[in-house]
Chains A and B, each alone.
Chain A
Amino acid sequence: MRKIFIKAIMLFMALTVLTGLIYPLAVTGIANLFFPVTAQGSLVIRDRVIVGSGLLAQKNDSPFYLWSRPSASEYSTWPSGASNLGPASKVLRDQMSDRRRDWRIQNGTDKDMPLELLTASGSGLDPHISPEAAARQLDRIARKRKWSAKQTRSAKQIVDRFTEPPVLGFLGQPRVNILLLNLALDGI
């Protein structure tokens, strides 16, 4: 009996050191050697200031910029969170019609409203929307920023350039990253 406990303690300590210290440290070492940017959170830096992470959506409801998908946790990263509301929830249905109304007020019509903007994401930090959802917001932004026709055209080209295709043609769907796109639009 005592022998079993001693062996249990010894083996537990050995495997804790191996899997709980050496392994994560090794991964950190190798990862930061080969992939230093992603390992540290894919930080996006402009004028020497961190403006966000290329993988996390951020709160931005200014009409001058593209909007991300709604977030049940108000884009909190600390902690992240979702609504967990079921399809039969009145609250969810109300939220969806509110979002539709807001879109109509900002864009004149809700006929062509991209569907992914109706619902909150799982992480509350979904960094992507569809290229269509980006393109449809450009009219509003052009109006607000008083862009010329040429500027609007080049904004559309930027959206095309930022569109990431599905991986291997079938994993995922075409998508654009909001933060990177918004920063690029500032350059027009």
Chain B
Amino acid sequence: MMQLDNLYQEVILDHYKNPQNKKLESDNDAQVHHINPSCGDEVTLGVKLEGEKILSVNWDGVGCSISQSSTSIMSDLLIGKSLEEAAVISESFLQLMQSKGSQDGDETVLEDAVALAGVSKYPARIKCALLGWMAFKDASVQALSKKTN
């Protein structure tokens, strides 16, 4: 059970049971819907910007504890950051997911998201963990281009 505990950290199960920012807002600058076609997990995610600053990341979704907690943790982490900071955090998370269990993650950058480090040992679950992050990337690009147009 040791390895499984490594995957299902307390932080993950907490976020799964009490997801943060899981309430779609009606005045988002951009909203996207992403699906993991291999399992059917879904996330709808909205972003609000003020200049380069992330005012809100709000979402709704159905799926496993990994996809839902990862989205919840991410939303907590990114709200209030600049888009540039968000890109650094997202890149760091992506690297952690692709590390095949060789990294623990930089807690100063990723904070609670390091709890998802164990996912990188389970190839089938990496897409679950990335679902919300990819949705954020998509939504933030759309929101930014809308603002600058």
Chains A and B form a bound pair = no
Write the residues of chain B forming the contact surface with A, with a CB cutoff of 8 angstroms.
Answer: none
